[in-house]
Structures are given as structure tokens and as C-alpha cells.
Homo-oligomer: A and B are copies of this chain.
Amino acid sequence: MPLDTIRTRLKQRRLDALLVTQPENRRYLSGYTANDSSIAESAGVLLIKAKGEPLLLTDARFALQAEREAPGFAMRLYQRGLLALLKQLLPRLAIRRLAFEPHWMLHSTAEALLKMTGALGIEAVPVSGLAETMRRCKTKTEIERIRAAVLLNEQVFRTVYSILRPGQTERQVADRLEMTMRQMGAEGPAFDTIVGAGPNGALPHAVPSDRPLGQGEPIVIDMGLRLAGYCSDMTRTVVLGEPDDKTKEIIRIVRRAQLAATQVIRAGCTGREADRAARQVISAAGYGKYFGHGLGHGVGLAVHEAPALNRRNRGQLAPGMVVTVEPGIYLPEWGGVRLENMVVVQKAGCELLNQDTTFLDID
């Protein structure tokens, strides 16, 4: 089905084929799950023609895996690199106008591609978002996979939360979370786990340090994992021992902001409106300038994908989109509080994917 949509879009734009280099697009369209070591060390690309059998181009290291996971794709192996193979293939396949993904190709590679195709009389056309726009709205199967990733994430969180003690360092806790993810069956973390204790929590993306967790201070834990390719993303702010009144107050404000956003999120609501619902609560409480990032983002095969929930996105949400709702308050010197859940946009509202209610410890 996704392939048919791509083919239709190619025909509409009179393009003969799309070269898929973006790794999540590759997995989405083919089922091939290999990871790229980096953008400069790719595990392969797709060549999807407007008509006929799609191709998967890779090297011998990945041949068995590609064959097993993407049986609908004809495999072609390159020995001297992708461009040398394309130079042979494109004329043979009568491809005259080739779309490529400029948002996931190195400039030097794109320049070499343009030079090579130019010499062959082939037009290479940068086209962004052809697959990304399709990935925004999830199918039922995708939503169930994301739900499974969210629930496993919560299990991991609770396992580690139950043994959290003052004196453990941020780094130790982050390592423990990532180990537990793997032990409980995740493919691995979806991003570098954040553990920010006390003042360190004032940086929304703090790198875990050797600072020990203290009693009574807010500890921001932002963690996500990958399961069957799909990501989870969750933040909890916990306190060891008794939180003081200020901490309790700030947690309550952030939680109210999260609930306010969750209440407006539905098909037709814009990313900007969702963001505003949360921001108003935090501003009304006097902390508006301490909520320095957007409310949320889409999650799927990538942990950060469209749509964005922030002041700049005037686009409307649609059923099947999966987004995070993660307001926060960050006070320099003092620390931070962020609460993050994931929801599925529906026609008349949204469905909460999370079940964990750790933030309700604070009443």
C-alpha cells in the first residue's frame, strides 16, 4: 500500500523513480530493518520505480538480511559503491527523471550523483517529504507497535525507579535504564537517555553526569526505546524522599499543562493550538518564560518526526498521528520538571498510550 502511494506520487510528478536513502523511509517502504552506522556508511537504498518491481541496492554484507526481510524487492549488490551501480542500472531501467531525498544525502554524494546522471542525460530531482508525509498517520498495526514500545518503556522505568536511591549518579541510572531496556527485549534506546538531577535538570537535554542523586530534588528522566522498529519517548520527574512545596507546585503546574493540551488534541487542532493550551497554563502560573521548547513532536519509526506541536506549526492534526505531550518548567540553578506522555490523535479527541502515573505521587 505505501508503495502504491509512492508510485502514484511519482506519476503525478512525472518522475520515473525515487531513490530512498533515509533509513526510516527505507524500513517503512520495504520492511528491511538494517541500521546505518552513519549517513556515510549506509546499509543500502531503495530504488522505487513508478512502474514495475522495486529494487533494493546494498552490499554483500547485508545481502542475506535484505533478501529475508524485503522479499518483494529485487536485490542488486554494489561492490564499488552505490553510484557505480546506479550508473549501470539507471539507463538499463530507462529512468530519465530520478527523484532523490536531499534531506538525507550528503552534499558531496548529491553533487556526484548530479554529475553522473547529468553525463547520462538523466535528470536527478531533489524531492523532500514524499515518504515522510505518509509516515505521519499511523496504521492500526503501527499504533499497536508503538503502544507495545510505550508499555515496555514503562516497565523498564518502573523496574529502575523501584531501586533508585540517593547517591547513585545520573550516569549510573541512565546506564541501568539502557541495560534494562535491552534485558527486557528492546532493540535498544531510541535516543541517549537523559537523567538530570537537581540543577542539571534545568537543561532540557542534559547529558547524564557523575553527579549523585540528592534527596528531595527533582530528577528528570527522559527515556525511550525501540521495539520492532518503533519508538517510545517518555519523561517522568521523580523525587527521592519528600519534595518541598515549590517542587510539588511546579510538578502540579506542569501536569495541569499536560492535561490541558491532551484535552484539546484531536483531528483538526493545529500544532500551534495544542502548544498554546499547555503554554497558557504555565504562563498563567507565572512560569511562561521557563518553558523554552515546543510541546511535542511526532513519534514512529523515528523518535522525532512530523508533526511538530509548537508555535510555528499551523498544520492540522489528523487521525492516526502519534505525538508526545511534554510541557516543562526549567529554572536555572534550581532544576527542571518535565512530564511526557504519548497520545494517538483521533477524530474527536486523543487516546493516551501511557498507563504509568508516577507523577500522581505528588498530590
Interface, chain A (partner B; CB < 8 A): 34-35, 37-41, 60-62, 64-65, 102-111, 126, 128, 175, 178-179, 182-183, 191-192, 203-205, 207, 292, 304
Contacts and interface: CB of A to CB of B under 8 A. Distances in A.
Given A37-B191, A179-B182, 18 more contacts: A34-B207, A41-B304, A60-B292, A61-B205, A62-B205, A65-B207, A102-B111, A103-B106, A103-B108, A106-B106, A106-B107, A107-B109, A107-B110, A107-B111, A107-B126, A108-B128, A110-B110, A179-B179
A4 to B, nearest CB: 26
B106 A105 contact: yes
18 contacts: A37-B191, A37-B304, A38-B39, A39-B39, A40-B103, A61-B203, A61-B205, A62-B205, A102-B111, A103-B107, A105-B106, A107-B107, A107-B126, A108-B126, A108-B128, A110-B110, A175-B182, A179-B179
Contacts of A304: 37, 41
Contacts of A39: 38-39
A22 to B, nearest CB: 10
Contacts of A105: 106-107
A35 B108 contact: no
A126 B65 CA distance: 36
A259 to B, nearest CB: 26
Instruction: Give how many copies assemble into the complex.
Output: 2
Nearest to A171: B182
A216 to B, nearest CB: 23
A204 B61 contact: yes
A178 B62 CA distance: 22
Nearest to A33: B207
Nearest to A183: B175
Highest count of chain B CB atoms <10 Å: which of A105, A111, A182, A183: A182
A65 B194 CA distance: 14
Nearest to A39: B39
Contacts of A107: 102-103, 105-107, 109-111, 126
Nearest to A22: B40
A102 B105 CA distance: 10
Nearest to A113: B107
A259 B304 CA distance: 47
A311 to B, nearest CB: 12
Nearest to A175: B182
Contacts of A203: 60-61, 64
A62 B192 CA distance: 14
Contacts of A61: 203-205
Nearest to A204: B61
A310 to B, nearest CB: 12
Contacts of A62: 205
A163 to B, nearest CB: 16
A192 B304 CA distance: 22
- Nearest first, the 7 closest Cβ-Cβ pairs linking A and B are A107-B110, A102-B108, A61-B205, A102-B107, A103-B108, A107-B107, A105-B107
A104 B103 contact: no
A107 B112 CA distance: 11
Nearest to A111: B102
Nearest to A114: B107
A110 to B, nearest CB: 4
Contacts of A207: 34, 65
A192 B35 contact: yes
